[in-house]
Amino acid sequence: MTQTRRAAGFGLCAAAALALAPGAARSAEPIKIGAIVATSGNDTAQGAELTNGMRLAIEQFGPSVNGRDIRLLVEDDTSNPNVGLQKARKLIQSDGVDIIAGIQLSSAALAISPVVSAARVPTVLSLSAANALTGEKCSPWVFRASYANSQLAEPLGKWAFEKGYKSVYILGSDFVTPRELASDFRKTFEKAGGKVAGEAFSPFGKTQDFGPYLSQVRAAAPDALLAIYFGAEAILFTKQYESFGMKDKLPMIATLGTTPVMLRQAQGDSSVGVISSLNYIPELDTPENKAFQASYKAKFGSTASEFGVMGFDSMRFAIEGLKKVNGATDDRAALARAISQVSFKGPRGPMTMDPKTNHVSQNIYIAKAVKTDGEVGFELLDTITNVTTDSTACNMPPLK
């Protein structure tokens, strides 16, 4: 064998040995991110937008990190927290995912959090809003890139009083989220000097006639009504508020969910005039948001709502964390630590993960539903910058 052929043979053997080495084999494997969303059930529209946003983020900020392709594994939780828990275990035990994202229901996130923490799988929440997730139930393995209920309601309480609403009546659906939002609003509204004229919660999913509740509000004669409803109930409530003759007499304020982009067509003019506290509006006039909306519409054929942008941003937090560790996922603590240090300017504005709570700091927007050229949209009234959450309830153990 000539010297040249011997050298070539040695090179081939060395390359084969390198390919078989554990580190090299691992580096060639895709990075697997499991997304738990609703592709069936009550929250399918939200789940579809969240998934669209995640896929767009992978396309724009990936599609690979340090030579490792990012693979998104989507699991349907059917809008059921028990199913969501089962899917989280499947993604961890059977699919061997490196990161989990999505999770719409707070009840599902609260059940899944101990499981992903025990398995040491970094998890970026794309929607779940219960305060406890980054409060007393916080985990070094769980990050929230959406919002906490307090992050929406507390700024609204102070803003409402400053704008002249000295007394407010609160109506909401009777389940955990509206009650939490109401409590958070009341805290800052009363601290500012406001008075809650009354408060009532209608049976969730069972109330078809809001007349008796609206009569209570009318009798109390407040300066404004805070309404906290979601989905079909939000449609029904705004329409009855209008037909009850209160729309032009009593201002309505709300939080994200009562007059969302997804319900505009169904609510029609009944949502016009409602002032809401939100973490995103599609009308934001920034280069980042314009670029996002243009790319989302080009890919999916529609304007993205807050759900699309929260899917997009949550996946970006995961990808930027992966970039900080050069795509290495064996050291899960290093990966989680990297996600906690991510900061960027996105469609919503400046986004920073707070390492004290693993919750995103972001702008909160006060916007009014208006009708322009026959279309309902948001008019930005105020921007409350860099809103965080209270870190005193979060006693996060160190990463190990």
Q: What is the tens place of the pLDDT at every residue in 100-126?
A: 999 999 999 999 999 999 999 999 999
Q: What is the pLDDT of residue 350?
A: 98
One domain, residues 267 and 290: no
292: which 2 tokens? 């996002």
Q: Is residue 69 part of a domain?
A: yes
One domain, residues 157 and 115: no
Q: Is residue 333 part of a domain?
A: yes
CA atoms lying within 13 Å on the CB side of residue 226 = 34
Q: Nearest-CA neighbor of 289 among 264, 306, 270?
A: 306
Q: Are 49 and 87 in contact (CB under 8 A)?
A: no
One domain, residues 155 and 106: no
Q: What is the pLDDT of residue 22?
A: 43
pLDDT (tens place) for every residue of the chain, 400 residues total: 444 444 444 444 444 444 444 444 456 899 999 999 999 988 999 999 999 999 999 999 999 999 999 999 999 999 999 999 999 999 999 999 999 999 999 999 999 999 999 999 999 999 999 999 999 999 999 999 999 999 999 999 999 999 999 999 999 999 999 999 999 999 999 999 999 999 999 999 899 999 999 999 999 999 999 999 999 999 999 999 999 999 989 999 999 999 999 999 999 999 999 999 999 999 999 999 999 999 999 999 999 999 999 999 999 999 999 999 999 999 999 999 999 999 999 999 999 999 999 999 999 999 999 999 999 999 999 999 999 998 899 999 888 7
One domain, residues 44 and 56: yes
Q: Is residue 164 part of a domain?
A: yes
Burial of residue 15 (CB within 10 Å: 0-12, 13-18, 19+) is: exposed
One domain, residues 225 and 132: no
One domain, residues 303 and 196: no
One domain, residues 69 and 143: yes
Q: What is the pLDDT of residue 28?
A: 80
One domain, residues 214 and 241: yes
What Å distances lie between residue 273 and 305, 322, 361, 377, CA to CA?
19, 43, 28, 10
One domain, residues 89 and 186: no
Report the domain count for the chain: 2
Domain that holds residue 129: 26-147+284-357
Domain end position, chosen among 246, 278, 310: 278
One domain, residues 138 and 246: no
pLDDT tens-digit series, residues 310-366: 999 999 999 999 999 999 999 999 999 999 999 999 999 999 999 999 999 999 999
One domain, residues 313 and 212: no
One domain, residues 160 and 140: no
Backbone angles phi, psi at 235, to 5 degrees: -60, -50
Q: What is the pLDDT of residue 27?
A: 62
The verdict on pTM exceeding 0.85 is: yes
